[in-house]
Amino acid sequence: MGQALDITRDAAHPRMTAPRRADADVLRRWIEGAAGRHPDKPCIVSVDDGRAITFGELRQLTRRVATFLRGRGVRANDRIALLSANSIEHLACYFGVMAYGATICTIHIEMNRRHLDNILARLRPALVLHQEGLGLDDVLAQVAAPRLPLGVWGGRAGSTFYSAVADCEPRDAYLADAAPTDDAVIFFTSGTSASPKGVALTFREHLANIEPTADGFGVTGDDRIYDFRSFNWASAQLFGALVPLSQGATLLMARKFSASRFFHHIAEHNATVAAGNPTVINMLLNSADALDRVRMPALRFITSSSAPLLVEEWRRFEKRFEIPIAQGYGSSETGWIAANPGPARRVGTVGKPLPYHDLAIVDADGGRLPAGATGLIEIGGFPDNDYRHLAEDGTIGVTSRGRIRTGDIGFLDADGYLHVTGREKELIIRGGVNISPLEIDGILMQQADIAEAATIGVPDRIWGEEVVSYVVLRPHAQSAADDILRACRTQLPEFKAPKRIIACGELPKTERGKLDRKALVERWKETRGA
């Protein structure tokens, strides 16, 4: 750890360690190092079909990919578009393109299908690699760039990417001129009605986040990490793919989440760490199909990220399954920001910030606030860094320079743990007073009859906004709306307590499983209009 990066310490912020150099060579050293130590150790295991690729095989494959790309004249910042679901082929391509020194552009087909023509037009890729059988013929026909089916790793039949790569000599043909500030990866948010946001990260931004994240979660080379999340998005790429690669650990990859197979996969493959999120935690809590803890003796903890996890659900999960939850925090633009150290996690927090990010809680004017004070979460690990996005014309635009605010609200406690208390855009402002819906959700979730809860601010002629909560009741629940309201008033001051409780069959979620409060506001408006 630490040898791959040039570390500097800022005298003004002595806790900040800022990796100055992290180019494609860092990724190559991780691959070469793991292959040198454990050539026959599995690097990636596909839990759905039992196939695996070892570190030694990955080393050979990335060298062949480099030979292939160099032969096609691919240069630094040339974009390779990858349209594929989770598979060994997907991740090996992701590693190979980035290790060579070009830009890998991962696109979630299911979530962004309506926007694929727009995405590919913006990317202007040098090459498009696509999984077969996904019904993309019409979209691909509009692309001017060369197109190749991804094919099967190790296969030589047919005209595919992997058959072409198999015919290449595994020479050391990497790009020597891929710099830390060149683009490593571009990935896209889930698009609904608007065009998906394309986030562009340099090698320095993307790879310098990995070893601090491994340290933050306490991941070592002995771990076997189970991850079902889409490797087209940042969270899984960083924690599920690059963190284990950097440590020489093994990734146990599933195509997608299955409540009925989740614990069985963990037990069958002796996983030590499993990835998760609040939606998955809730689904597992409401699933009758679960294994006893004794069947999963190696499992140290499950992570939770992408959205805040309510403390009540956190404690309920740990009590039922006896498995610690290590919540973390990050964003597509910045990578992982904070991490809980596995079983030593502190419940109710997202852990301690990764020091190099130089996280601060600031007021509206950017002034740093003391411990315990709630404000806007801001980071800026690289003083000369630009946080960037892919513009509609295909160029790279600047979102923020030097430092960036995440859009979240929170505070640092006296021990340096970060508490995320809500989204800036989701704050309810009642009579000029800011109210966090998460606080009210947490109170509601303490009631035994409530399975899910979501609080919103709705228009009010007197107060500007009023507090309304939607709840999903458990089967055979006995509580009525008035009972829930009375319980809230015993724990919340009058101005924070919800003024109305609305029971519903389910809460709206985004494509990634996050609670969609905007959709609830629209539901309220439609109901009131009717």
**What is the per-residue pLDDT across 374-433, written as a single tens digit (0 to 9) for each?**
999 999 877 778 888 898 888 898 888 878 898 899 999 999 999 998 888 888 888 777
Question: Is 478 inside a domain boundary?
Answer: yes
Q: Are 314 and 348 in contact (CB under 8 A)?
A: yes
Asked which of 85-99, 197-211, 338-352, 415-429 is least confident by mean pLDDT, the reply is 415-429
Return the bridge partners of 165, or none.
Answer: none
pLDDT tier at 194 (50, 70, 90 boundaries)? low
Cα 360 from Cα 379, distance rounded (Å): 6
Same domain, 310 and 299: yes
Cα 180 from Cα 358, distance rounded (Å): 20
Token pair, residue 57, equals 């095989």
Cα 493 from Cα 319, distance rounded (Å): 29
Token pair, residue 9, equals 């310490």
Beta strands in 153-197 (DSSP E): 183-188
Please tell me the number of Cα atoms within 13 Å of 438 on its side-chain side: 20
Q: Is 518 helix (H, G, I), strand (E, B) or coil?
A: helix
How many CB atoms are located within 10 Å of the residue 256 CB? 12
Token pair, residue 333, equals 């633009």
Q: Check residue 529 and give its pLDDT.
A: 54
Interacting residues of 186 by C-beta distance below 8 A, sequence separation 6+: 79, 103, 104, 105, 106, 123, 198, 199, 200, 201, 390
Return the bridge partners of 433, or none.
Answer: 430
Token pair, residue 383, equals 């003083």
**Burial (Cβ within 10 Å: 0-12, 13-18, ≥19) of residue 374:** middle
Same domain, 153 and 76: yes
Interacting residues of 257 by C-beta distance below 8 A, sequence separation 6+: 228, 229, 280, 283
Same domain, 80 and 107: yes
Q: Is 458 helix (H, G, I), strand (E, B) or coil?
A: strand
Give the H/E segment covering residue 13.
none
Boundary (domain end) residue, out of 317, 336, 355 = 355
Question: Is 32 inside a domain boundary?
Answer: no
Distances in Å between the Cα of 521 and the Cα atoms of 90, 194, 494 are 38, 18, 22
Question: Is 374 inside a domain boundary?
Answer: yes
* Residue count (the chain): 530
Cα 270 from Cα 226, distance rounded (Å): 9
Q: Check residue 371 and give its pLDDT.
A: 95
Scanning 83-221, the segments in alpha helix (DSSP H) are 88-100, 109-112, 116-123, 137-140, 161-166, 203-208, 210-217
Question: Is 34 inside a domain boundary?
Answer: no
Q: Are 512 and 306 in contact (CB under 8 A)?
A: yes
Owning domain of residue 130: 55-203
Same domain, 196 and 222: no
**The pTM is what?**
0.84
Cα 163 from Cα 510, distance rounded (Å): 38
Same domain, 412 and 498: no
In order, the DSSP letters of 202-260 are EHHHHHHTHHHHHHHHT--TT-EEEE-S-TTSHHIIIIIIIHHHHHT-EEEE-SS--TT
Boundary (domain end) residue, out of 323, 355, 387 = 355
Query: Please, what is the average pLDDT of the chain?
Result: 88
Same domain, 187 and 222: no
Same domain, 309 and 380: no
Same domain, 170 and 86: yes
Number of structural domains (the chain) is 4
Question: Is 363 inside a domain boundary?
Answer: yes
Q: Are 277 and 307 in contact (CB under 8 A)?
A: yes
Average pLDDT over residues 332-337: 91
Question: Is 50 inside a domain boundary?
Answer: no
**What is the per-residue pLDDT across 438-469, written as a single tens digit (0 to 9) for each?**
889 989 999 989 999 999 989 888 788 899 99
Same domain, 480 and 455: yes
Boundary (domain end) residue, out of 401, 426, 451 = 426
Q: Are 433 and 445 in contact (CB under 8 A)?
A: no
Return the bridge partners of 502, or none.
Answer: 470
Give the distance between the most distant pair of CA atoms in the chain. 74
Average pLDDT over residues 214-229: 96
**What is the per-residue pLDDT across 20-61, written as a single tens digit (0 to 9) for each?**
567 789 999 999 999 999 999 999 999 999 999 999 999 999
User: Regarding predicted confidence, which is higher, 512 or 445?
Assistant: 445
Average pLDDT over residues 121-129: 95
Cα 270 from Cα 14, distance rounded (Å): 40
pLDDT tier at 16 (50, 70, 90 boundaries)? very low
Same domain, 459 and 331: no
